[in-house]
Structure 1
Amino acid sequence: MKETMRAAVLRRYHEPLQIEEKPIPVPGPGEVLVKVRASGLCVSDIHIQDGKIGTVHLPYTPGHEMAGVIAAVGEGVDPARIGEHISAAIDIVCGECEFCRTGRTNLCRSLIRIGFERDGSHEEYCVIPAKNAFTVDPTIPFEEITGIPDAVGCMYNGLKNQAKLGIGQTLLILGVGGLGMNAIQIAKLMGATVYATSRKADKLEVAKQMGADAVIDTSCEDLRTRVAELTNGRGVDVVLDNIGLEWSINEGVYMVRPGGKVLVCGYISEDFKVNYQEVMKFEKEILGMRGMTRQDMAEVVELVNQRKIVPYVYKTVPFEQINEALGLLRDGKTKGRVVLLFPED
């Protein structure tokens, strides 16, 4: 094995990432070395580049949607794992706090995240705890595997655990894109009726292909009027807000039925305000969500292995084009996840 690798390094906020040579890390006890084959780009990468995530310390390598092959193992890890195709759970957890003990590992009090508080997958090799490496069927394309721990997993956690979406319920997705395309598939699997919104007709076309029952073009249709028509004035059971602006959360609150839930996923605005009376009188709920639990990860891997969920990938680009790809994401010129591909050798 060679001694150095290429890595995308963020040295200063508001500047492009630098492609640099770094030593290939060595896995310690309980760790594995992953040869990264694909790494997904996320809006969080933009927030990190803009200095909006305070737990990040420069210089460092971002990337939290990893797909690859185990290339080496540290002490205490079965050497038979070498060669496994894996997806990496983002959260490194303590396993001992009250949240870990009760299965809510995504809220671990000692949480460290791959691609946030420690170097991530925008590099040719990455060391992670062996417990974070989940084996995936080798027939699944690497670019699809990248979506498991975030683009799919986050939506799965939100809809299953927080919203408790079920058979016969209705879901409205505000801002269908990299996350929303996967949310459509998950919601349909749960037996729900799905409505998706966007200001871009091409995204709505993809949403219909993913299984959306109806789409709303908010560039030319009144959102509240259309939702009232689709639900016969009842309102939807759940709104998934993938936009994260004050107006989007308020729209969600008004469009859910009494007792309905607004699931907050997008996080552009730092704060928001809503009509207190609307929430109080009609027992509406605003729910946060972050990441996924370890159990969610295991379930999503199985659903992907069975092809019951096919993570949506809009575009793949060579690793060297990371800054151009981030520019597309920043300018809103994508219809879903953009994934970096690394050469096999």
Structure 2
Amino acid sequence: MGTMRAERFYADTKTVVLEDVPIPDPGEGEVLVKVAFCGICHSDLSLINGTFPAQRPVVIQGHEASGTIAKVGRGVTGWSEGDRVVVAAGRPCGQCVNCRRGDMATCLRMQLMAFAYDGAWAEYTVAQAAGLTRVPDNVPLEQAAILADAVSTPFGAVVNTGKVVIGESVGVWGVGGVGTHIVQLARLVGAVPIVAVDLNPAVRDRALELGADYAFDSRDPDFADKLAQATGGRGLDVAFDAVGLKVTFEQALNSLTGGGRLVGVGMSAESPTVGPTSMFGLTRRQALGHLGYHNKDIETLAQLVSRGRLDLSRSISQIIPLEDIADGIRILDQAEGNPIRVLVQP
């Protein structure tokens, strides 16, 4: 099959290296995808900096990929070479109790792309045909790529875990790549008001442009009073922590109304608390963890974009060639230009 250019992460030295490697061959039930675009996510950085433990000594990173099918493996039906697709960012283990029952969507040991197996910071990637989503012709492949995590994870957080309904008040801590889409999706399902919370004034302004009703600085000494005024004195029905730090988690939790839900989406090595268990019980607040999405969510989002219900035109902050992957990693790590999503183009 020849060779391809790919980024590989070496766990022992925590280094990112561009190399020529063999083009993989799809096996039973798999397809080979020629990568068009692949996003750079904070979880990619967390593997590089050691926040997430490595699962393989060497792995190709990148888990937000779109492209076209280059080769169809044995036993694959319904797909053809040239089809435009989004690649799922994970695959079921096939061996746990749930998988053996045929419930692959709730696999207990879901394998994550770019951690447990090779990802798509490369010219080609192999994907299970069962995890592909067809991209409508009017959806740009660069926008389709981020559906695989940067948009579908917020969708899962808002719809499946947070269960936000029309008229509920929502707060979003951290309005970057994930938080921006939580704001947009919360508005789409009818949340009101939506409060964006971020340290950066430029990011707060952007959040207002993309659907937030209010945007506050969490360090503002009048923050609690402003939030109370925005919510009619009730506090928030649902708060989303897209940062994952102790301070953001605890401030979001304390901003809830009685019986409100905190959804933790951001991740770090820090350890927040829920405070005294007496108050946690009396207020009936809930703290919920969220990770990932169902593959069907990508199809739903693709249709929303295709029909003009969800606008992702501002979500692609920059596109860089694969050869400049180090620059893309630095841009996200240092938040240069306040990116929503930086994409790699092999």
TM class by shorter chain equals: over 0.9
Instruction: Determine whether 1:337 maps to 2:344.
Output: no
Task: Report the Cα distance in structure 2 between the residues aligned to 1:76 and 1:36, rounded to whole angstroms.
Answer: 22
Secondary structure at the counterpart of residue 40 of structure 1: strand
Match of 1:260 in 2: 260
The one-letter code matched in structure 1 to 2:291 is: R
User: 2:30, 2:73 within 8 Å by CA — same for their partners in 1?
Assistant: yes
User: 1:318, 1:340 within 8 Å by CA — same for their partners in 2?
Assistant: yes
Match of 2:290 in 1: 289
Q: So what's the TM-score if we normalise by structure 1?
A: 0.92
Match of 2:163 in 1: 164
Task: Report the Cα distance in structure 1 between the residues aligned to 2:135 and 2:221, rounded to whole angstroms.
Answer: 42
Judged with a 3 Å threshold, the aligned counterparts in structure 2 of structure 1 residues 94 and 217 are, in CA distance, closer, same or farther, namely: same
Match of 2:241 in 1: 241
User: 1:94, 1:108 within 8 Å by CA — same for their partners in 2?
Assistant: yes
Instruction: Determine whether 1:8 maps to 2:7.
Output: yes
Task: Report the Cα distance in structure 2 between the residues aligned to 1:294 and 1:265, rounded to whole angstroms.
Answer: 18
Counting matched residue pairs gives 340
Instruction: Determine whether 1:71 maps to 2:65.
Output: no
Judged with a 3 Å threshold, the aligned counterparts in structure 2 of structure 1 residues 273 and 80 are, in CA distance, closer, same or farther, namely: closer
Gaps of 5+ in 2: none
Q: Which moved more, 1:179-188 or 1:50-59?
A: 50-59
Task: Report the Cα distance in structure 2 between the residues aligned to 1:11 and 1:324, rounded to whole angstroms.
Answer: 18
Judged with a 3 Å threshold, the aligned counterparts in structure 2 of structure 1 residues 35 and 104 are, in CA distance, closer, same or farther, namely: closer
Q: So what's the TM-score if we normalise by structure 2?
A: 0.92
% identical equivalent positions: 30
Matches within 5 A, 1:27-176: 27-78=26-77, 80-94=79-93, 99=98, 105=105, 107-176=106-175
Secondary structure at the counterpart of residue 44 of structure 1: helix
Task: Report the Cα distance in structure 1 between the residues aligned to 2:216 and 2:243, rounded to whole angstroms.
Answer: 15
The one-letter code matched in structure 2 to 1:271 is: S
Task: Report the Cα distance in structure 2 between the residues aligned to 1:151 and 1:243, rounded to whole angstroms.
Answer: 14
The one-letter code matched in structure 1 to 2:307 is: Q
Judged with a 3 Å threshold, the aligned counterparts in structure 2 of structure 1 residues 273 and 308 are, in CA distance, closer, same or farther, namely: same
Q: Deviations over 1:88-117 (max 9, x none)?
A: 111211568565669682x41231121110
Give the Å deviation of 1:309: 1.9
Q: Which moved more, 1:126-135 or 1:86-95?
A: 86-95
Task: Report the Cα distance in structure 2 between the residues aligned to 1:178 and 1:158, rounded to whole angstroms.
Answer: 14
Task: Report the Cα distance in structure 2 between the residues aligned to 1:8 and 1:251, rounded to whole angstroms.
Answer: 38
Match of 1:199 in 2: 199
Match of 1:317 in 2: 320
